[in-house]
Every structure is written in C-alpha cells, then in structure tokens.
Amino acid sequence: MKSLSITHPLRLATVACCAALVAGCASVPPKAERYIAPPVGASWKVQVSSTGSFGNASKVEQQVSLRDVVVEGRPYHRFDAGGGATLLNDSVGLFMVLGPGDRQVMRYDPPLGYDFPLEVGKTWTQDITLTVGGTTKTPMKAQWKVEAYEGVTVPAGTFKAWRVVFTDNFGFKQTTWSMPETVGTYAKRVNERPATHPQGGAGTQVIELLTLPAVK
C-alpha cells in the first residue's frame, strides 16, 4: 500500500511567513518622515551655474551657513548665502527671502514647502499669498510631486536623494534632489524660468553641493 506524504502544517506556515517577510522587505518603499536640519553653526559650499534671467555665471562657489532665528515670534532656520538669506521652518517651508541688508525680497504665506512624509508618487498643492518686496501681494498656486528616490552625483559625492519637482502658476519649475533626514540640505537643485516669467524671462540655474555641512 502506497504511503501518503503529509507536510506538517507548522512547516507550511513557517515557509509562508518567511516568504511574506522577504517579499515585504523587497517591496516596502522608502519614506522621509521629517526634516532634520544641519547643526546650528554649520557651513558648507555649493557650486552655482546660471544663465539668462538668473545671471551669467559658471561654477561660482558660494558659502552657506546656518543659524536659528525668531521672526514674528516663530522659530526659523536662517540660511545665509551669496549676500542674501532664506528663512525656512521645521518642515523645509520657505517663509522669506532676504536680500542685502536683510531687505525683504519675497514672503510666502503660508510657507512654501514639503508635505511630509515624502514618498515616491506623492503629490500636493498649496495656495499661497506671495508678497514681492514689502507690499505687492499676489496669489500663487504651487504644485509638488515626489518623482523618485535615486542616486545623484555632485562634486561633494554620490548620494541617495528624493527628486522633488515644484511648479507654480508663473511657469517656474524647480527640481531638487533633497536629503532632508540625512544631510539636511539638497545635493542638487535646478531652477528653470520660461520666457514669460515676470522675473526677467527665461533662465536656468543649477546649484550643486561642493562640501558637506560641518561645524568648525
């Protein structure tokens, strides 16, 4: 009489569990849960190349430094570079752009920025009041998309970064390879303006990381 082959139920469950774990580990997409700024007092260098309405410069080095400030009773990270500064909140939301002498160039209400967590395929929109100079207010529509999590090579090295694309109702497009949880800044940023842009027409600006943030 032929004997029946019986597989133990526990063994089947164990194999199924292991297979599920392996499949899960392979398919879980990465997420950036939050923004972690570089340490206060950190500085680093970027390389800037510009054309058109952004100016005419090729591989110009800029020093960037970080300090924390309070403006209108709220804390912000202040990034100084190239004679001006930007004020960002804890979610990488751009609140204000300052020119020489801390003259207000642009202000965004609410701040223009990321909607965490970041994950590939995520999109969001923002309705913002943009103040140009000190008085001129105009409505602004911002659209965001996390296109990829990928490797990017710049003079500072090769990094894994989130490729985030931002566009607005003025035709401006910005592509950023961002590292919010690891380095606290971006590896690369490409700004593009069309011929119809109100800030001088067409132009392109490429900013790449030259050195990593460090406190001396």
Assigned domain for 214 exists: no
CA 202 to chain centre: 23
Q: How confident is the model at residue 10 (pLDDT cuts 50, 70, 90)?
A: very low
Q: How confident is the model at residue 2 (pLDDT cuts 50, 70, 90)?
A: very low
Assigned domain for 10 exists: no
Per-residue pLDDT tens for 132-167? 987 889 999 999 999 999 999 999 999 999 999 999
Buried b (16+ CB within 10 A) or exposed e, 171-190: ebebbbbbbbbebbbbbbbb
**Residue 50 structural domain:** 44-209
Assigned domain for 38 exists: no
Query: What CATH number did the domain enclosing 145 receive?
Result: 2.40.360
Assigned domain for 180 exists: yes
* Whether the bond into 100 is cis, omega within 30 of 0: no
Quick one: 117 exposed, middle or buried, by C-beta within 10 A (0-12, 13-18, 19+)? middle
Assigned domain for 216 exists: no
Q: In DSSP terms, which residues pair with 141 in a beta bridge? A: 127
Q: What is the pLDDT of residue 134?
A: 77
Q: What is the pLDDT of residue 12?
A: 37
Assigned domain for 13 exists: no
Q: How confident is the model at residue 26 (pLDDT cuts 50, 70, 90)?
A: low
Assigned domain for 26 exists: no
Q: Domain count of the chain?
A: 1
Q: What is the pLDDT of residue 133?
A: 87
Assigned domain for 189 exists: yes
